[in-house]
Structure 1
Amino acid sequence: MRNIMRVLLATLASAFLLSGPVAATPAKEAPWLPEAAAYRLTLFLGNLEPLPWDDIETAWTEPYRGSEFSVGALAWLDRKSDIEPDGLLDAIMREDLQAVFAEATRLVALRIEENLDRALAAEESATAQLAVQTVRELYRAFEDGIAAADPEAARRIGLAWLELNSSTGSAGVLGAGATSADRDTMEAARAVISGYLAENYLLDSFAPRRTLSALPETAVLSGKAIEVPPSLPPGSDIFDQDPLPLLVLNFEEQGIDETDLPLVAYGDMLFDSAQLFGSPAQDLGIACSTCHNRSDVNQRLFIPGASHQPGAIDVDGAFFNPIFNDRRDDPLDIPSLRGLRFTGPYGRDGRFASLRDFTRNVVVNEFGGKEPTPFMLDALVAYMLEFDFLPNSMLTTDGRLTDTTQEAARRGEEIFNTPFARLGDRSCASCHVPDANFLDRQAHDIGSVAPGYEGARAGALDTPTLLGTAYTAPYFHDGSLPTLAAVVDWFDETKSLGLTEEDRADLTAYLETVGAADEPYEAFDTENTAFRLAFAELTTFASTIDTLLPRRDAEHILLLTDTVAADLSADASTMSNLPARPEVYALAERLAAVGAAVRVEDWEAAEASWTAFKSEADAIEERAF
């Protein structure tokens, strides 16, 4: 949804989230060491079908996206390690996935052993501590697999890390308080870690893996079904766009309060709820709003193997719902949902005439969710139909430029409306009809899609609106053109329009003016904070309980309380008013209590907790920033 104040409160908030539903507010990860990052990318990419071998090779040869390191894993190993990765390189070249897994697993385990040797051989405590820190960061590559398969071993190793770290000694402060390393304790702790690695990750051969994971070998050989919690690989980014796009809702512009529209408010909640989807999206906190921040485009969203660039995603690949995998590497630029009630048909190729059918397809097929109830679909559609375009004072309601626009844009408007012989005597405006929100609600093959086979007629794409496009770069279905000027150049060159350089500049100025907005982003200050916006939204979502409780609608109440209580607690970490955080955590617990009572059909207790929630929310609203 949006992006724990003392250590105790942070711990309590984390425990609440871990023990309950997954929040749609993702948590930032610590940076990965290059070889650990490459290993985790290999596990992730190795489970995709078809296998992206070029990406697997790149995972080892180049830094992962957003890495703090300027070199890839192999170059890093050349600098920092005596381990030779020849076996791994050979396995990648042969495209032998089992061998790649085995070699990569051994490499990371050997790197742990190498740094344990350095820690024990160090004469200075600072050197030993640095080696231990490196070991700990490398161990992250295996950590979730061990925790899922062998919690007792995870606990023993955790204690060994504590003992190892605390027994390296200290140089003290200016020579005072120095302590010597406790070699016996270090050796004992190292034996625990190394023993487990030898038994599970430093093997000559591994059992065949149908699915790559960091599970220990003993767990795999046991034959027990063990699920490692889904995780995104290093380089992923599912955080909200910054600055946050402004959300324009039709009812708000008319002065109607969302709390008076319970169906719309429930749909708003569903749009922000990861509970709507199946695994892995639900486990990772991915919701509709993850891709479509505030109804617009999340231009920073990126998942290796599913995105070819930020702001794009392949929703019918192997990751989100394998049964829906079309086995094509075809990530699409995320479309804006602004003005959705005007922009049908839906889907990039306009395959869905109905927004309801399109929405169901996204939930069930693309993201593997359960069949939504009719009420859920009604609510989602009701909410999304309220999305409006960004106001643009340089355009009239029928799509003409106002007198406030620059001369270049007005010249561009003439070009936009001029028929061209190479366009079949049609103009740009023939498809992007100005007085119809720059749409014609049809699909056209303009030659931007490479045919899948000879004679294929599958290149027709739904005409996109031009409204708000100044903020949705890059352009075309695959995001292949970085600017609106590049779009003009593409049409001129591929359609032989014969535009002069001045014509291109004028047409670009027109498109930039049409695509502009008076206020494209949310405006925040010291009190009008991102959390205050989130708090208002979450309490609005919760207001639908006033409608659902009298109906004893347990299914939809629980979906709401599971979503909003977790997000309210998670979002409290963004508050600038630190003294008010405990109140917000308590408010989240109050809403969770509503859900707990509904689960056991104690409707009287649910009513009482809900009444208390409303009273407490009103009392802290002014301090919630």
Structure 2
Amino acid sequence: MRKMESTGRRFARGIAAILLPTLVAACVRYDGGPVALSSFALPAPADVVDDARVALGRKLFFDVRLSGANTMSCASCHQPDRGFEDGRPVAVGSGGRAGKRATPTLLGIGASPRLMWDGRVASLEAQALMPIANPLEMDQDLEALLTELAADPGMRGAFASAFPAQPKVSRRSIALALAAYQRTIAPRPTRFDSFVAGKGSALSGAEQRGFALFTGKAGCVRCHSGPLLTDGRLHDIGLPDTGQGLRFKTPTLRGIAGRAPYMHDGSLPTLAAAIAHYADHPARRRGVPAATPLHPGERADLLAFLRAL
């Protein structure tokens, strides 16, 4: 746990720490016009406000007491070294119970206008307690959690520092602290950002050709636009109907190479498979974008670009 917390602490600091006010334009809707290279630029990193509330939220995020069996924390599924995902097709909760959807990344989550794969939650504060109480996830009784945390002198002090006007451990303060920490979770700049900043040699020839496909023929930019490479909206992309709905939120593509498998149901094991889906899939339903045929060289170039993000 100490190792995971250290990774989370590094993630919240330095150049990768971009707070919500800086990312108001991070989810951008593509309007069909020419794509400006500058539209992909990450905002200048903000100073990290590592105040008591963020520190408490970080501590809670890595605390196994948030689960009923005291065996898993938020970071058990949202693993910093895996892009705040877990590498599974679907999440596995307390007691080994399989969930219904893949663990979504938290990279840049503070800028998202809607949360969860189906976009049903509007704020991090509203979402924070849901996985804790969900029997398929952390399966914790919230009142029991309050009692357990309040019995810990260190935690009582941390809550008092974070919420001096209302120091009592409460559902509200847990949600606020977790949301404050999650807003510091941001993608690390990559060679693509150097390219966007004007260093043409930062991307190889194949990667640059892939970027041209991404913003052109392949049409990826229709949904994956802006600094976080997402429009934050819900789309039906033609996956089989498994009874969970058809429209799901566009995920960020930041750090995408390290976040397999892909899609809300983890049904596509590799980036090559994801590219093949968009290039080859039949338009099963009205409104699903038509497939965009790509020859093997184009697929290889697009894959090279995605790996550079």
Shared fold per TM-score greater than 0.5 = yes
**3-state SS of 1:480 partner:** coil
Give the deviation of 1:404 after TM superposition.
1.6
Other-structure match for 2:74: 288
Task: Say which of 123, 138, 146 aligns to 1:367.
Answer: 138
Other-structure match for 1:313: 91
- Distance, in Å, in 1 between the alignment partners of 2:100 and 2:254 is 23
Kindly tell me: are residues 266 and 510 of structure 1, through their superposed partners in 2, closer, same or farther at Cα, counting changes over 3 Å?
Answer: same
Q: Which amino acid in 2 is paired with 1:442?
A: R
Verify: 1:249 aligned to 2:12, yes or no.
yes
Structural RMSD (CA): 3.1
- Distance, in Å, in 2 between the alignment partners of 1:358 and 1:351 is 10
Verify: 1:343 aligned to 2:112, yes or no.
yes
Write 1 or 2 for the structure with the bigger share of helix.
Answer: 1
Structure 1 gaps, min length 5 = 4-239, 301-309, 321-328, 421-426, 515-625
Give the deviation of 1:491 after TM superposition.
0.9
Give the deviation of 1:462 after TM superposition.
0.5
Matches within 5 A, 1:14-413: 247-249=10-12, 256=48, 258=50, 261-277=51-67, 279-280=68-69, 282=70, 285-294=71-80, 296-297=83-84, 299=86, 310=88, 312-315=90-93, 331-365=100-134, 366-369=137-140, 370=142, 372-396=170-194, 402-413=200-211
Kindly tell me: are residues 298 and 440 of structure 1, through their superposed partners in 2, closer, same or farther at Cα, counting changes over 3 Å?
Answer: closer
Q: Is the 8 A contact 1:251 1:257 kept in 2?
A: no
- Distance, in Å, in 2 between the alignment partners of 1:462 and 1:405 is 28
Q: Is the 8 A contact 2:66 2:72 kept in 1?
A: no
Verify: 1:490 aligned to 2:266, yes or no.
no
Other-structure match for 1:476: 263
- Distance, in Å, in 2 between the alignment partners of 1:401 and 1:342 is 27
Kindly tell me: are residues 246 and 510 of structure 1, through their superposed partners in 2, closer, same or farther at Cα, counting changes over 3 Å?
Answer: farther
CA distances 1:259-300 after superposition (whole Å, capped 9, x unpaired): xx11111111111112223x23x2xx2110111123734546
Q: Is the 8 A contact 2:79 2:86 kept in 1?
A: no
Q: Is the 8 A contact 1:412 1:506 kept in 2?
A: yes
Kindly tell me: are residues 437 and 288 of structure 1, through their superposed partners in 2, closer, same or farther at Cα, counting changes over 3 Å?
Answer: same
Kindly tell me: are residues 271 and 511 of structure 1, through their superposed partners in 2, closer, same or farther at Cα, counting changes over 3 Å?
Answer: same
- Distance, in Å, in 1 between the alignment partners of 2:305 and 2:208 is 7
- Distance, in Å, in 1 between the alignment partners of 2:52 and 2:14 is 13
Task: Say which of 216, 221, 242 aligns to 1:429.
Answer: 221
- Distance, in Å, in 1 between the alignment partners of 2:57 and 2:127 is 15
Q: Is the 8 A contact 2:215 2:221 kept in 1?
A: yes
Q: When the two structures are superposed, what TM-score results if normalisation uses the length of structure 1? A: 0.35
Task: Say which of 265, 287, 296 aligns to 1:501.
Answer: 296
- Distance, in Å, in 1 between the alignment partners of 2:198 and 2:228 is 11
Q: Is the 8 A contact 2:228 2:254 kept in 1?
A: yes
Give the deviation of 1:314 after TM superposition.
4.8
CA distances 1:563-593 after superposition (whole Å, capped 9, x unpaired): xxxxxxxxxxxxxxxxxxxxxxxxxxxxxxx
Structure 2 gaps, min length 5 = 18-45, 144-169, 282-289
Other-structure match for 2:239: 448
- Distance, in Å, in 1 between the alignment partners of 2:192 and 2:291 is 30
- Distance, in Å, in 2 between the alignment partners of 1:401 and 1:478 is 37
CA distances 1:544-572 after superposition (whole Å, capped 9, x unpaired): xxxxxxxxxxxxxxxxxxxxxxxxxxxxx
Q: Which amino acid in 1 is paired with 2:306?
A: L
Give the deviation of 1:251 after TM superposition.
6.5
Q: Is the 8 A contact 1:348 1:477 kept in 2?
A: yes
Matches within 5 A, 1:602-621: none
Q: Is the 8 A contact 2:132 2:138 kept in 1?
A: yes
Other-structure match for 2:20: none
* Fraction of identical pairs, as percent: 28
Q: Which amino acid in 2 is paired with 1:500?
A: H
Q: Which amino acid in 2 is paired with 1:262?
A: A
Q: Is the 8 A contact 1:348 1:461 kept in 2?
A: yes
Q: Which amino acid in 2 is paired with 1:487?
A: A
Kindly tell me: are residues 479 and 506 of structure 1, through their superposed partners in 2, closer, same or farther at Cα, counting changes over 3 Å?
Answer: same
Other-structure match for 1:7: none
Q: Which amino acid in 2 is paired with 1:368?
A: D
Other-structure match for 2:216: 418
- Distance, in Å, in 2 between the alignment partners of 1:505 and 1:331 is 32
- Distance, in Å, in 2 between the alignment partners of 1:379 and 1:245 is 15
Other-structure match for 1:538: none
Larger Rg: 1
Give the deviation of 1:355 after TM superposition.
1.3
